[in-house]
Structure 1
Amino acid sequence: MIKLSKLMILTVIAALILSACNTNSAGQQEEKKEVNLLFNFATSSLDPNVDTSYVSLRAGITETLIHLNDETLEIEPWLAESWTSEDGQTWTIKLREDVTFQNGNPMDGAAVKASLERAMEDSAAIKNALRIESIEADGYTLTVKTTMPFPEFPSELVHPNTSIIDVTQTDFVNKPIGTGPFAVSSFTPGTAVDLTRYDEYWNGAAKLEAAKFSFNEDANARSLALESGGADIVFRPEVESLEQLEAIEGVTVESTSTFRVHQMTMNLEREVLQDLNVRKAIDALIDRESIVDTILKGHAEVANGPFPSTFTFAPDYPEKETGLESARKYLEAAGYEVVDGVMEKDGEPLALTMLTYSARADLPLIAQVFQSDAGQLGIEVTLQQIEIPEEYMAANRDWDLTTYSNLTAPRGDAGYYLNATYHPDGALNFSGADDDKVTALIDELNMTVGQQERSDIAEEIARYVDEQVYNSFILHPNTLVAYNSDKVENWVTSRSEYYMLTNELDVK
């Protein structure tokens, strides 16, 4: 008993000592400066070169060579100090010389070369986007040659999947070593990544000592987490909860226009969707105004095409016929008729499989509305929930339609979306579009320098794919963020949705 008592006393003393270490001179407990951000997409990997949730960049673990200015929509230096090219094909990139990885290793030319080559090796999408033929490193200078003249090459280096990491540290899934203000402390796939401040960060140590980047794909649960204090910042809270959140003292809700579009991706490899009139019928069935008003509660803009109307390369589209009767007319032109309440052709009913996913809570609701409207014409639409849309659509062709959300101009330029979505080699070409006219126009766009000239070509492409209805565009949603403004300082809701946990983020 005496030995046990001594042990208990020592334990208490140790606890008091630890407590004293966290107590200020006034005897008050000091709280660690940290925040918990709750994101709407879960990830099982932090690998910055392949993770489509871009968690490593958003969480401040990694950075790219070039940064997008959210206000001017122009690219600017980040890990790269400058970039030049005389012919649009051979590029000289000067790197910052004061950057180290979170393990203390220098971020020199050799390290960046290795990182970019690793990204291209592991991601076909990045290889196709960058079009790099060769990279040479000399000290803190890179010489990059692309496979063809590519004036917009620097803007591709904004993409989160081009994040620079130390490839000598190979646990990319659980602990990538980047150059950002926060290093990975621990990672629980599908749940959260715990972060700690990297004191030697080149742009000034973060104001926060630590942070947590958590995941929950349930929009209602995210809203409740903010209400209960379980989260300090919530990305895309439930739309229905916004008024309730705004009524809470100390909670700020921000609704910011962005470069995103909610679209209906069409699988052009399916025979039924190879008929333009069927695609036009599907497009006519989408009640965009009603969806914006009822599902998004006005926090969106009706989409006429992939690009928001504020962009110079967003064309004026001809007015479309919409509604049930217009859809019926297109289907009749395609040879369909209603028999005993079923839309059919040559005795075969028109039945469609539509994919959707819950990480964006409005998409399943949009899918349900479409299913209901299609049912009024005798079209059977089967809804199928998936988890990671990019992975499923790329690996499977057993679907007809997908409610999908995509950033269309995250670098303030049309080239990214048009290359990714409509070029045969595009990383996001899930529809399987392979149109010689579109491909030739995109190749021409890639070699064009002037902004007005680029806008003219982009408009022509956008109008053409709209005529062909290769995809249907529903709305441009606002980015919704709610946070505890009594605690959080210097939060910025970025239009690109790329930059979240920064070295400037702080708590009061």
Structure 2
Amino acid sequence: MFPVDDPDTDEYELAEIIDDLTVRFHMSRPTASFSSYLVGQLGIVVSPTWLRAAMDDPTLNQAPVGTGPFRLDSRVQDQMTRFVRNDDYWNGDVYLDAVEFYVYTDTEIAADAMSVGDLDVVATSNVDAILSLRDQDGLMLIEDDTGEEGFGMLNTSKAPFNDIRARKALTYATARQDYLEFIGQGILRPADTWFTPEHPFHNPDVVQEAD
């Protein structure tokens, strides 16, 4: 699963299969993010039958299989994907006949579709869309900013950002408060670390410098 000669996965050694339901991972160094990998794409257990077939037939990438409450019915790429109830679902009753996911490249348009009843659920981090939805009656809004942050990543192993002066120059050139006021419009809040002030891992002593 994690080749020992892969430079991108140097924190792993070869995984060990214990039995049909157990795998032991051997870490070559502490890796705090490992548990989060297992609840993302890396941790998804796919059907080996489907996986072998998909390696021979790339079109099967658009026809995944799984054990969830719904199964793929149809898909129009970049437009809509439809799932229907899986009558063989292992974990109880499935109360919906089908679920359709529509692709909107502009979430403000998606918010408008939500307002007129064309959609039942919209997930967005677009500030203008959130403000628009806040003004609508009859909608249930769930707002949560504890799981997402906007940030830039710098390669500090190479010039110019291996020099702390270059990193500080970029930081001081960032007008964070102006961004929060004019772009965030009162929706966004500053982030000094990956953890919000409500999180137990938040460190109030860490403060990001800015213009």
Q: TM-score range by the shorter chain?
A: 0.7 to 0.9
Number of residue pairs the alignment of both structures matches: 201
Measure the CA separation in 2 of the matches of 1:217 and 1:192: 12
Matching of residue 134 in structure 1 with residue 134 in structure 2: no
Is the 1:131–1:147 Cα contact (8 Å) retained in structure 2? Answer: yes
- DSSP 3-state at the match of 2:140: strand
Percent identity over the alignment is 22
Q: State the partner residue of 2:57.
A: none
Per the alignment, residue 171 of structure 2 pairs with 283
> Residue 265 of structure 1: CA displacement?
1.8
TM-score by length of 2: 0.77
Equivalent residue runs for 1:263-412 within 5 Å: 263-268=151-156, 271-317=159-205, 322-323=210-211
The answer (yes or no) to whether the contact 1:164–1:179 under 8 Å persists in 2 is no
One-letter amino acid of the structure 1 residue matched with residue 194 of structure 2: P
1:146 and 2:34 aligned: no
Q: Secondary structure at 2:179's aligned position in 1?
A: helix
Larger strand share, 1 or 2? 1
* In the alignment, structure 1 residue 227 sits paired with structure 2 residue 115: yes
- Distance in 2, matches of 1:211 and 1:125, equals 40
Structure 1 residue 269 displacement after superposition: 5.9
Larger Rg: 1
Displacement, 1:197? Answer: 0.8
CA deviation vs aligned residue, 1:120-156 (integer Å, no higher than 9, x gap): 58xx799667655222434xx3242424487976554
Q: Distance in 2 between matches of 1:229 and 1:313?
A: 40
Q: Secondary structure at the match of 1:280?
A: helix
- How far the C-alpha of 1:302 sits from its partner, in A, is 0.7
Aligned with residue 39 of structure 2, among 146, 158, 161: 158
> Residue 262 of structure 1 corresponds to which residue in structure 2?
150
Q: Answer yes or no: is the 8 Å Cα contact 2:17–2:24 preserved in 1.
A: yes
Alignment-derived partner of residue 197 in structure 1: 85
- Tell me how far apart the structure 1 counterparts of residues 9 and 154 of structure 2 sit (CA, whole Å): 25
- The answer to which of 206-215 and 282-291 deviates more is 282-291
2:192 and 2:207 in contact (8 A); partners too: no
* RMSD over equivalenced CA pairs, Å: 3.1
- Who is 2:138 aligned against? 250
Map 1:69-108 onto structure 2 (within 5 A). Answer: none
Summarize deviations over 1:352-408 as a string: whole Å, max 9, x none.
Answer: xxxxxxxxxxxxxxxxxxxxxxxxxxxxxxxxxxxxxxxxxxxxxxxxxxxxxxxxx
CA contact (8 A) 1:126 1:162 kept: no
Alpha-carbon separation, structure 2, partners of 1:251 and 1:165: 36
Partner of 1:240, secondary structure, is: helix
Distance 2:10 2:119 in 1: 38
Give 1:201 shift: 1.2
Structure with more relative contact order (C-alpha pairs < 8 Å, separation 6 or more): 1
Equivalent residue for 1:211, pick from 99, 120, 129: 99
Contact 1:185 1:194 in 2 (8 A): yes
Distance 1:246 1:185, change over 3 A: same
Amino acid at match of 1:135: I
Aligned to 1:57: none
Cα distance, 1:254–1:293 mapped onto 2, change above 3 Å: farther
> Could you list the per-position Cα deviations for residues 224-270 of structure 1 after superposition, in whole angstroms to 9, with x for gaps in the alignment?
22133332211106422434433333222221132222112224466
**Tell me, what secondary structure is at the counterpart of 1:194?**
strand
Structure 1: which 5+ residue stretches go unaligned? Answer: 1-116, 324-508
**Counterpart of 1:195 in structure 2: which amino acid?**
F
Q: Kindly tell me: are residues 129 and 166 of structure 1, through their superposed partners in 2, closer, same or farther at Cα, counting changes over 3 Å?
A: farther
Cα 1:151–1:183 change in 2 (3 A) is same
1:265 alignment partner, SS class: coil
2:141 is paired with a residue whose SS is strand
Q: For the structure 1 residues 235 and 195, does the alpha-carbon distance in structure 2 shift closer, same or farther, using more than 3 Å as the test?
A: same
Query: Contact 2:11–2:29 at 8 Å: present in 1 too?
Result: no
> Residue 365 of structure 1 aligns with which residue?
none
